[in-house]
């Protein structure tokens, strides 16, 4: 087979997708082209389940968040029965945007233009100056598919969402349940706009080949993600030995807790690609902090030990999650432009944890605030590189299997969309 690594002269999308070389990074237009970006929104973000929020962001009836996905805007709201609902953020009268704020609380949803009023269940309750024949029941807000897995809220803009989501949810839920994410509270949330394509943000997350650049993180996190025993270089051998010892202790803790022992890796073999892994932490082995020390004195959910490692969940196409005994950190990625991406990071703690007593925000967030900034710099450098005429796709290393899996999943989903 002849590998075509030259920068394409045209943007024929089918040809671009079909000539992707397995084991290599993508060609430049995948990261730079407006045409490809628009395809990503329609084929990936408008057709797959997206992580949108934590239930902890919507603790009370009337609480809402808005989520922007390309030209779509979606309202997620907790209704009066405390169920989650999602609607297109578009008035059914003449199309005005209903809510501008990223989050808040409402009694009803009132259009600021002509004051059409909707309940938090989406029903049209009031519309002035309509004829006697007007049927309000025909003009409810257009619903969007929404689901919660263990307190993590996903939405899908498609009328026919991927059918495997229920199976994936059933696989994931037992791992999440002990952390009590549905009852958790938001301790902090941070938004960063990274100067890079959304796929570069995701690819960067899916490997630890660069983790030497994260000194705060590797104080507690073993920089061995994606490595096998054969891959570990001499400089990481001491960490690898500590990792093996800590793994045995973590397995014993899981048995005592009645926690599932085996993870799963189905990143590129299904529509709703995912990976679950549970790894020990270095040092004290408790949390993302200097030498692995705790950052919150109240443990999550039904946790009975503060040394329970890092339960990591990856979901295609836009999210990753870290659950620890004393807190959780959840990440969502949303595309803004071919070279701009929103990364939202949310820290969750026990609902009864008291700021200033059980935790302080600076310590809780220090590791991932620093890591996000460092990753943002790396993504921006890569974006500059793929925009350079000198760029050619390069081969993935032996420890970048999850990057290859993400790209393989992405290309296969584009191919399926283009063949419809």
One domain for residues 99 and 215 = no
One domain for residues 175 and 145 = no
One domain for residues 326 and 197 = yes
User: Considering its fold, how many domains does the chain have in total?
Assistant: 2
Residue 36 lies in a domain: no
One domain for residues 127 and 238 = no
One domain for residues 232 and 298 = yes
Residue 376 lies in a domain: yes
One domain for residues 229 and 352 = yes
245: containing domain: 171-419
Grouping H, G, I as helix, E, B as strand and the rest as coil, residue 69 is strand
Q: Helix, strand, coil % (nearest 5) of the chain?
A: 30, 25, 45
* pTM over cut 0.85: yes
pLDDT at 43: 98
Per-residue pLDDT tens, the chain, 420 aa: give them: 334 444 443 358 999 999 999 999 999 999 999 999 999 999 999 999 999 999 999 999 999 999 999 999 999 999 999 999 999 999 999 999 999 999 999 999 999 999 999 999 999 999 999 999 999 999 999 999 999 999 999 999 999 999 999 999 999 999 999 999 999 999 999 999 999 999 999 999 999 889 889 999 988 988 777 777 888 888 888 888 888 889 999 999 999 999 999 999 999 999 999 999 999 999 999 999 999 999 999 999 999 999 999 999 999 999 999 999 999 999 999 999 999 999 999 999 999 999 999 999 999 999 999 999 999 999 999 999 999 999 999 999 998 999 999 999 999 999 999 998
One domain for residues 269 and 130 = no
CATH of the domain at 105: 2.102.10.10
Helices (H), 108-153: none
One domain for residues 199 and 314 = yes
Residue 392 lies in a domain: yes
One domain for residues 374 and 276 = yes
Residue 267 lies in a domain: yes
Residue 165 lies in a domain: no
pLDDT at 9: 38
pLDDT at 11: 52
pLDDT at 209: 87
Residue 279 backbone phi and psi in degrees, to 5: -130, 150
The answer to whether the peptide bond before residue 317 is cis (omega within 30 degrees of 0) is yes
One domain for residues 183 and 319 = yes
CATH of the domain at 404: 3.90.380.10
- Tokens read off for 174: 């037992």
pLDDT at 347: 98
Residue 317 lies in a domain: yes
Residue 380: closest CA among 8, 31, 29? 31
Give, for 68, the enclosing helix (H) or strand (E): strand 63-69
One domain for residues 140 and 181 = no
């Amino acid at each position: 087979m002849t590998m075509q690594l030259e920068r394409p002269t045209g943007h024929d999308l089918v040809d671009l997708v079909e000539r992707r070389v397995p084991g290599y990074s993508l060609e430049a237009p995948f990261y730079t082209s407006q045409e490809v970006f628009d395809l990503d929104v329609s084929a990936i973000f408008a057709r797959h389940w997206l992580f949108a929020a934590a239930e902890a962001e919507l603790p009370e009836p009337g609480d809402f968040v808005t989520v922007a996905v390309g030209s779509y805007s979606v309202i997620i709201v907790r209704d009066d029965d405390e169920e989650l609902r999602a609607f297109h953020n578009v008035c059914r009268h003449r199309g005005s945007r209903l809510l501008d704020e990223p989050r808040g609380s409402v009694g009803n949803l009132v259009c600021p233009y002509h004051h059409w009023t909707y309940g938090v269940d989406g029903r049209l309750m009031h519309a002035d100056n309509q004829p006697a024949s007007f049927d309000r029941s025909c003009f409810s807000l257009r619903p969007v598919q929404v689901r919660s897995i263990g307190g993590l809220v996903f939405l899908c803009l498609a009328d026919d969402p991927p059918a495997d989501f229920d199976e994936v949810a059933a696989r994931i839920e037992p791992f999440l349940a002990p952390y009590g994410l549905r009852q958790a509270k938001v301790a902090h949330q941070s938004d960063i706009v990274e100067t890079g394509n959304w796929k570069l943000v995701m690819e960067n997350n899916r490997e630890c080949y660069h983790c030497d650049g994260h000194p705060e993180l590797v104080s507690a996190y073993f920089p061995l993600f994606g490595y096998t025993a054969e891959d570990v270089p001499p400089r990481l051998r001491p960490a690898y030995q500590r990792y093996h010892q800590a793994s045995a202790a973590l397995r014993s803790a899981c048995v005592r807790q009645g926690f599932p022992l085996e993870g799963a890796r189905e990143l590129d073999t299904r529509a709703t690609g995912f990976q679950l892994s549970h790894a020990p932490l270095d040092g004290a082995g408790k949390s993302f902090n200097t030498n692995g020390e705790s950052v919150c004195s109240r443990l999550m959910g039904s946790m009975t030990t503060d040394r329970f490692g890092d339960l990591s969940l990856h979901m295609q196409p836009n999210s990753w999650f870290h659950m620890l005994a004393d807190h959780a950190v959840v990440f969502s990625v949303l595309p803004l432009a071919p070279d701009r991406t929103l990364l939202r990071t949310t820290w969750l703690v026990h609902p009864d944890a008291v700021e200033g007593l059980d935790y302080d925000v600076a310590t809780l967030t220090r590791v991932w605030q620093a890591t996000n900034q460092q990753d943002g710099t790396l993504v921006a450098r890569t974006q500059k590189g793929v925009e350079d005429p000198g760029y050619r796709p390069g081969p993935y290393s032996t420890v970048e299997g999850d990057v290859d899996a993400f790209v393989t999943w992405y290309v296969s989903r584009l191919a399926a969309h283009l063949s419809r």
